[in-house]
Amino acid sequence: MRLALICVLICCVGCASGQREWPVEDAVVGPLEVKAVGPLLIRGFGPPKMILNLDLESEATPVEVARGDTVSIVLTVTNNRTVTQFVDFSSGCKFGFALLSREGEMVAPEPIVCTTVAQRVEFEPGYKKEFRFNWTWDSDNIAAGEYLLRAGFGPYGELCSAPPVILTLR
């Protein structure tokens, strides 16, 4: 596991100049109002993670959710650089999302099982692809309120993520 983490850190382009980390205390103003910023990593939902030299964007519809509604999530990965970017994954779960409470606790989705096959993914210059996920609010274990939806690399978007989307569960 330690070797896989070291490989990921070595093979991925780290904090590129011009990109910023986004501490949660700077991102949350009042009732989960998120500042508009560029591609970045959310810090504060666990230990700091890597920032890749790729642009990540996420969308979710609807953002006001009633119990039983299904949220469509779109993660867009773009390589706007002039060189190929490589990402080494330690499992088959390359992209994903998580719904996070105000305290940073992951409340959805349910735990998933990933294959242990390590994979290298190549992002050519100009590469742009959308990855789609769905989540249905069908659990009584998740209370109404405001949550951050994080999408990105890793089964729960935890390795590197797009700016979060605020979901209001009513």
- pLDDT, residue 139, reads 87
Question: Residue type for 35, please?
Answer: K
Name the stretches of the chain with pLDDT < 70.
1-52
**Coil, helix or strand at residue 68:** coil
Detail the DSSP E strand segments found in the chain. 21-23, 28-29, 33-34, 41-43, 55-61, 64-65, 70-78, 85-89, 95-100, 106-108, 119-123, 128-136, 145-153, 160-161, 165-169
Domains in the chain, CATH or no CATH each: 2-169 (2.60.40.2360)
| Residue 43 tokens, joined | 């810090």
The SS3 call for residue 7 is helix
User: Residues near 84 by Cβ (< 8 Å), separated by ≥ 6?
Assistant: 122, 123, 124, 125
Q: Could you report the per-residue pLDDT of 74-97, keeping only the tens digit for each?
A: 999 999 999 999 888 888 899 999
Token pair recorded at residue 36: 């508009």
Helix, strand and coil content of the chain, in percent to the nearest 5, comes to: 10, 45, 50
Which pLDDT score, from 0 to 100, does residue 4 have? 37
